[in-house]
A and B are shown apart, each in its own frame.
Chain A
Amino acid sequence: MVELRAQEQHLLSVLSKQECSVSVEQLVQFCGFPDAAVMRNALSLQEKNFLTIQAATQNIIKLTAEGKSYAQTSLPERKLVVAVAELGGKADLSQAAKKAGLEASFIQIAQGWVIRKKWALYDSKTNTLTLNDALLHQMVVPEGCDETLLKYLGEKDQAVFDDLNGDLKEATEQLKKRKLAVVEPKTTRILKITPEGIQAVSEATLAVPEVTKLTPELIITGKWREAKLQKYNIEAPVAKTWGGKKHPYLSFLDEVRAKLVQLGFQEMTGTAVEASFFNFDALYVPQDHPARDPSDIYYIKDPKYANLDNQTQTVEQIAQTHENGNQTGSTGWGYKYNLEAARRLILRGHGTCLSARTLQSGRYQVPSRHFSIARVYRPEITDRTHLSEFNQVEGIIIDENLTLKDLLGVLGKFALEIAGADKIRFKPDYFPFTEPSVELSAYKEGYGWIEFGGSGIFRPEVTLPLNVKAPVIAWGLGVDRLYMMRNEISDIRMIFNQDLDWLRKKQVN
């Protein structure tokens, strides 16, 4: 069963009634569709084999400006002959021309054509025009073919030369000669119905009107019931839509935070600018330690010094410990402690200063577990493996009964919970503020071994001056390596990369 859309049906039926080929322009007139609609439907009908479309060159006749003005009134010779008739069939040329309203320059032309068309005779001696005998008895001077064409073109604007009958074709030549019309070749599309098309017109049922867009109007009025929603080419490519999503690295840190909270750790925070005292001294890093060289830690230009006024007692305790060990059972470093060096402001080089602050504040419980995700800073030249700014995840556990076993246990737990490690192994490690110290390497199928974290028990030189009596485990995790591994990144600079395309396409995992 052939199903045609309304416009197709109409076009095809119009076409079936034509005896010969029809141009698109003609169909525009016959169907009353706009040009584009005719073409669209014609193409779709051609696809169905109901018509053929052929390009053909046609000669198009159009009036010139002069021709158009005569089409609106009449030819000058007609004006003249009418005037002669009104003057009784015989009249003086100039008198007749005056009556006809002809300009002087047209008199000559009008006179010539009146004679050529055998409408009147001219006597040059008397300068008179006399109507042809045949016309004398008629009420009207019959219209010539040229005038018929002129009128037609005046109304229709143009005509196809081949469509005209023999007389009119001759008239075309006349008008052309008189420069009242021009003939121009023009390529047009010619539609011709096929036998299948003729059959289709008789058989076709009218399809429900098809619509491209489901509009609110269609929905509200219920007209959608009569409509058919046009099928789309669903395989056609579409423009990409980029919504928002979390930054993969921050999202990873969110996950680490959630795990740590779940394991009973509470988060510590602090400022990026820190007193050397908390970053170093409180952690028993001597004031002449290379880690405090300007090549290893950023110093603040202005302001230069922290205000440690409400910490004087702690500062004194720590100064004593550095100088001679004080009450800690240690020999101390044996140098002269300098308060100005302690107050010097820096950008924190590790997150351990937050642990020192927590212990110093005394606002913790025994037992308790703490962690921080801290942005830390080192004056490094950035490359594939170094950043001058990165994040450290670390913290402390405070409990009366902590031992080296717990030190191994906490790292083992993290390796399992956070890295999903298959195997772990421990190695002795060194931090200036812990003893004993451990490094944990984690093995994960497909990733291999990575150095995953370190931990240690704070030295008595750290805890005792801060008035902490219970053992404190300090731990830190190499989260950047884990992130890079999980996201198959080999360049650490990717953490802060400014590549929007990468972020948009980055798979969420």
Chain B
Amino acid sequence: MPTIDVNYAELQHMLNLKLDNNLEKLDDILAYIKAEVKGFDPKENSLSIEMKDTARADLWSVEGLTRALQSYTGQQKGPKPYTTTDKSDIEVTVDASLFDIRPYIACAVIKNIHLSDEVIKGIMHLQDKLDHTYGRSRRRTSIGIYNLDLIKSPIKYTAVKPETVEFVPLGFAQKMKLDEILEKHPKGQEYGHIVKAHSLYPMLYDSQGQVLSFPPIINSNDLGKITEDSCNLLIEVTGTLHKTVLNTLTLITSALIDRGGKAYSVTIHYPKDTNNNYTQKSPVTPDFSSKPLELSVAETNRLLGLNLSAETIINLLGTAGLGVEKVSDQYITVLVPCYRVDVMHQVDIIEDVAIAYGYNNIEPLWRELPTTGKAKADQRYIDIARDLMIGLGYQEVLNTTLTNTQTLFQKMNQPPSRLIELSNPKVITMTCLRNQLLPGLIEFLSSNQSVEFPQKIFELGRVTLPNEAEQTQTCDKNYLSAVTTHPNANFSEIKSTLDSFMTNFGVEWQIQETTHPSFIEGRVGKIIVANQEVGIIGEINPETLEAWKLENPVAGFELHFQTLIDAKQNNPHK
């Protein structure tokens, strides 16, 4: 979830609200836009606000936040209008070679803006949030801001061979080749993977051949450096989705307009290609127009369980910061402001109506429906088995299903078997899913060497096994494992426990001599039910005990309990 930092004094000033230090009151207001205060630093007077709605990129700046809240606090009803003052003299031409790399660009010009240190910080913060979350870490879109006064139109957006270009990247003093930037510049290291898959890299030049930037990696240190002295800016967004590129430009430009800047449009010239790859040939950006959306009154009432008139709905739409174009009996044409980039469907609008109406003003309803509750089919047998093991004096334990091969194999003195491993483990103790329960129980014992003996524990839980016949290439099975440890723990004791369990569960079983490296030779057997091997039972090998630093003998079993359940379900009378 995006978290934005805002200056508390500034927020109160912009909202024209005196909140003092009543953060709860602020939380109540923020609830309208699904946000809440996560932290407050009184020294910096800085608020950290978490946005639950990851789609509402319009809220990720203090300007956007206040714009949204002002309508709920009654300061401004309906959408806030944005316009461009005029066309700028900047034009951009796009090279066809970019189509498979990063095909779209949108630009705007901002003039006469006063950039204080605070404003620059705020804009950088918004740029960062948009790049990271809405721009999917610059894969989908990335923003560049330049000193307009240094740029000569037309601008060329093109793709180049990496070794042919060099320039001074932002924050550096020397010219660097593009590959060198990917290798050495911190931004190159962070985002280089986005362009590396291609043989050509995107570049922005002005008509003089000066480098603006190497999108989406880094600006030029000469043209792409913004200071408090810059008052005319060029804003550029490149990306892979046209709509998202336009939306991103709208979001960043509107924030600059809110800061006192005047916006001028830029014409983009896409290549004339035979494939009709580009639907719009010469769009003018930014596009601040509202998008009309048909809202059905009936559908609104049906979804909310209310009986609102069209008038009431229109009023609520205004509270939610939305506009209305026209109204008929059944439909309202809602004007969705340009910055509401999250709206995809009328349900998004209906929710805004409900929020404006107030969730706590709606009577909750628990509908009596003729449905029958039922636990999963296995649950009955799982519960019986757990009760039996508890009756036999075993404490139930709960281990994670994520574990590691050291625990499952090496420390159990057994060779690795195939299992489900993670490609991106976070810690070395959790690299795969367990395919057996016993190692987890032995690990459990090793953490309890100073606890009173005898220790008897069991777990009935799921293991994951590879299975190519299944859609997910795996199947989960319920296993049951138990161990006993104390100075006199031995095979007879655990066999007696298993036998009691089997008798009470109603399963006839046999034991068959076998060898298993985790167990002592001659003290280990296969558990056989209906001529099928369903587990293993024995005394743990001292080598394994030593590996786990266990000082008492351990006897235990692992039972493929699912097989027993399945047999019961196929023949419940047995």
Q: Name A residues whose Cβ lies closer than 8 Å to a Cβ of B.
A: 240, 242-247, 249-250, 254, 257, 260-269, 271-275, 288-290, 293-295, 298-303, 305-308, 310-311, 325, 328-335, 345, 347, 365, 367-369, 375, 377, 379-382, 388-389, 397, 399, 401-406, 408-413, 425-430, 432, 435-438, 457, 459-461, 471, 495-496, 498-501, 503-504
Minimum distance in angstroms from B469 CB to a CB of chain A: 9
Minimum distance in angstroms from B399 CB to a CB of chain A: 7
Complex: A375 Cα to B422 Cα, angstroms: 16
Indicate if the CB atoms of A381 and B305 lie closer than 8 Å. Answer: no
Could you name 26 residue pairs across A and B whose Cβ atoms are closer than 8 Å? A242-B395, A243-B390, A243-B395, A244-B394, A264-B369, A272-B464, A275-B472, A307-B471, A334-B242, A347-B422, A367-B370, A381-B427, A389-B401, A404-B304, A404-B306, A409-B366, A425-B360, A426-B360, A427-B31, A428-B355, A428-B359, A438-B359, A457-B303, A460-B347, A498-B444, A500-B457
Indicate if the CB atoms of A273 and B420 lie closer than 8 Å. Answer: yes
Indicate if the CB atoms of A377 and B402 lie closer than 8 Å. Answer: yes
Complex: A148 Cα to B13 Cα, angstroms: 124
Q: Which residues does chain A contribute within 8 Å of B567, judged by CB atoms?
A: none
B329 at the interface (CB under 8 A from A): no
Beyond the given A247-B397, A347-B433, A428-B32, could you list 18 further A-B residue pairs with CB under 8 A, ordered by the A residue number? A242-B452, A244-B389, A247-B398, A293-B137, A307-B471, A307-B473, A334-B241, A345-B473, A388-B430, A403-B303, A412-B364, A412-B366, A425-B360, A435-B350, A436-B354, A499-B448, A500-B444, A503-B397
Contact of B54 among A261, A307, A406, A430 (CB under 8 A): A430
Given contacts A272-B476, A499-B448, contact A429 B422 (CB under 8 A): no
Minimum distance in angstroms from B444 CB to a CB of chain A: 5
Of B116-124, B204-212, B373-381, the one with at least 4 CB within 8 A of chain A: B373-381
Indicate if the CB atoms of A301 and B401 lie closer than 8 Å. Answer: no
Given contacts A299-B422, A432-B55, contact A264 B373 (CB under 8 A): yes
Q: Which residues does chain A contribute within 8 Å of B174, judged by CB atoms?
A: none
B173 at the interface (CB under 8 A from A): no
Complex: A504 Cα to B242 Cα, angstroms: 61
Closest 8 CB pairs between A and B? A403-B305, A261-B373, A408-B364, A436-B351, A405-B305, A430-B53, A264-B371, A405-B365
Indicate if the CB atoms of B373 and A273 lie closer than 8 Å. Answer: no
Residue of A nearest to B397 (CB): A247
Contact of B133 among A244, A290, A300, A375 (CB under 8 A): A290
B42 at the interface (CB under 8 A from A): no
B302 at the interface (CB under 8 A from A): yes
Q: Which residues does chain A contribute within 8 Å of B422, judged by CB atoms?
A: 298-301, 347
Given contacts A261-B375, A264-B369, A436-B350, contact A273 B362 (CB under 8 A): no
Minimum distance in angstroms from A331 CB to a CB of chain B: 5
Indicate if the CB atoms of A328 and B363 lie closer than 8 Å. Answer: no
Indicate if the CB atoms of A299 and B400 lie closer than 8 Å. Answer: no
Complex: A298 Cα to B423 Cα, angstroms: 7
Q: Which residues does chain B contribute within 8 Å of A269, judged by CB atoms?
A: 376, 378
Minimum distance in angstroms from B531 CB to a CB of chain A: 28
Indicate if the CB atoms of A496 and B421 lie closer than 8 Å. Answer: no
Complex: A245 Cα to B423 Cα, angstroms: 37
Indicate if the CB atoms of A249 and B398 lie closer than 8 Å. Answer: yes
Contact of A245 among B363, B390, B448 (CB under 8 A): B390
Indicate if the CB atoms of A271 and B470 lie closer than 8 Å. Answer: yes
Indicate if the CB atoms of B244 and A459 lie closer than 8 Å. Answer: no
Given contacts A369-B371, A435-B351, contact A244 B395 (CB under 8 A): yes
Indicate if the CB atoms of A334 and B243 lie closer than 8 Å. Answer: yes
Indicate if the CB atoms of B402 and A389 lie closer than 8 Å. Answer: yes
Indicate if the CB atoms of B369 and A301 lie closer than 8 Å. Answer: no
Residue of B nearest to A239 (CB): B452
Q: Which residues does chain A contribute within 8 Å of B393, judged by CB atoms?
A: 243-244
Indicate if the CB atoms of A265 and B373 lie closer than 8 Å. Answer: yes
Residue of B nearest to A503 (CB): B395
B7 at the interface (CB under 8 A from A): no
Minimum distance in angstroms from B497 CB to a CB of chain A: 11
Cβ contacts B8-39/A at 8 Å (1 or 0 each)? 00000000000000000000000111100000
Indicate if the CB atoms of B54 and A290 lie closer than 8 Å. Answer: yes
B102 at the interface (CB under 8 A from A): no
Indicate if the CB atoms of A404 and B345 lie closer than 8 Å. Answer: no
Indicate if the CB atoms of A437 and B351 lie closer than 8 Å. Answer: yes
Instruction: Kindly identify, within residues 400 to 428 of chain B, every residue whose CB is under 8 Å from any CB belonging to chain A.
Output: 400-402, 420-427
Cβ contacts B453-465/A at 8 Å (1 or 0 each)? 0011110001010
Residue of A nearest to B371 (CB): A264
Complex: A242 Cα to B140 Cα, angstroms: 59
Complex: A411 Cα to B364 Cα, angstroms: 9
Indicate if the CB atoms of A435 and B348 lie closer than 8 Å. Answer: yes
Q: Name B residues whose Cβ lies closer than 8 Å to a Cβ of A.
A: 31-34, 52-55, 133, 136-137, 139-140, 240-244, 302-306, 344-348, 350-351, 354-355, 359-360, 362-367, 369-376, 378-379, 383, 386, 389-402, 420-427, 430, 433, 443-444, 447-448, 451-452, 455-458, 462, 464, 466, 468, 470-476
Indicate if the CB atoms of B52 and A299 lie closer than 8 Å. Answer: no
Contact of B396 among A245, A310, A405 (CB under 8 A): A245
Minimum distance in angstroms from A153 CB to a CB of chain B: 49
Complex: A307 Cα to B443 Cα, angstroms: 35
Indicate if the CB atoms of A410 and B366 lie closer than 8 Å. Answer: yes
Indicate if the CB atoms of A334 and B350 lie closer than 8 Å. Answer: no
Indicate if the CB atoms of B396 and A299 lie closer than 8 Å. Answer: no
Minimum distance in angstroms from A239 CB to a CB of chain B: 8
Minimum distance in angstroms from A73 CB to a CB of chain B: 56
Indicate if the CB atoms of A298 and B473 lie closer than 8 Å. Answer: no
Q: Which residues does chain B contribute within 8 Å of A299, judged by CB atoms?
A: 422-424
Indicate if the CB atoms of B398 and A250 lie closer than 8 Å. Answer: yes
Given contacts A245-B395, A266-B374, A334-B241, contact A288 B472 (CB under 8 A): no
Q: Which residues does chain B contribute within 8 Å of A404, judged by CB atoms?
A: 303-306, 354, 359, 362
Point out which of A272, A329, A428, A459 has the most chain B C-beta atoms below 10 A from its C-beta: A428
Complex: A282 Cα to B347 Cα, angstroms: 18
Complex: A273 Cα to B33 Cα, angstroms: 35
Indicate if the CB atoms of A272 and B348 lie closer than 8 Å. Answer: no
Indicate if the CB atoms of B447 and A499 lie closer than 8 Å. Answer: yes
Residue of A nearest to B368 (CB): A264
Residue of B nearest to A260 (CB): B373
Complex: A240 Cα to B347 Cα, angstroms: 62
Q: Which residues does chain B contribute within 8 Å of A406, judged by CB atoms?
A: 305, 365-367
Q: Which residues does chain A contribute within 8 Å of B354, judged by CB atoms?
A: 404, 428, 436
Q: Which residues does chain B contribute within 8 Å of A249, judged by CB atoms?
A: 398
Indicate if the CB atoms of B471 and A379 lie closer than 8 Å. Answer: no
Complex: A332 Cα to B343 Cα, angstroms: 10
Residue of A nearest to B56 (CB): A430
Q: Which residues does chain A contribute within 8 Å of B32, judged by CB atoms?
A: 428
Complex: A369 Cα to B398 Cα, angstroms: 29
Indicate if the CB atoms of B466 and A303 lie closer than 8 Å. Answer: yes
Given contacts A275-B471, A503-B397, contact A257 B375 (CB under 8 A): yes
Contact of A436 among B347, B401, B468 (CB under 8 A): B347
Indicate if the CB atoms of B375 and A244 lie closer than 8 Å. Answer: no
Indicate if the CB atoms of B371 and A271 lie closer than 8 Å. Answer: no
Complex: A242 Cα to B447 Cα, angstroms: 17
Q: Which residues does chain A contribute within 8 Å of B468, judged by CB atoms?
A: 303
Q: Which residues does chain A contribute within 8 Å of B303, judged by CB atoms?
A: 403-404, 436, 457, 471
Contact of A288 among B139, B348, B363 (CB under 8 A): B139
Minimum distance in angstroms from B128 CB to a CB of chain A: 14
Q: Which residues does chain B contribute within 8 Å of A266, judged by CB atoms?
A: 371-375
Complex: A323 Cα to B451 Cα, angstroms: 59
Indicate if the CB atoms of A300 and B344 lie closer than 8 Å. Answer: no
Complex: A410 Cα to B367 Cα, angstroms: 8
Q: Which residues does chain A contribute within 8 Å of B475, judged by CB atoms?
A: 271
Minimum distance in angstroms from A118 CB to a CB of chain B: 73
Given contacts A335-B241, A412-B366, contact A498 B424 (CB under 8 A): no
Q: Which residues does chain B contribute within 8 Å of A365, judged by CB atoms?
A: 371
Given contacts A266-B373, A267-B374, contact A274 B472 (CB under 8 A): yes
Indicate if the CB atoms of B369 and A399 lie closer than 8 Å. Answer: yes
Indicate if the CB atoms of B424 and A298 lie closer than 8 Å. Answer: yes
Indicate if the CB atoms of B457 and A430 lie closer than 8 Å. Answer: no
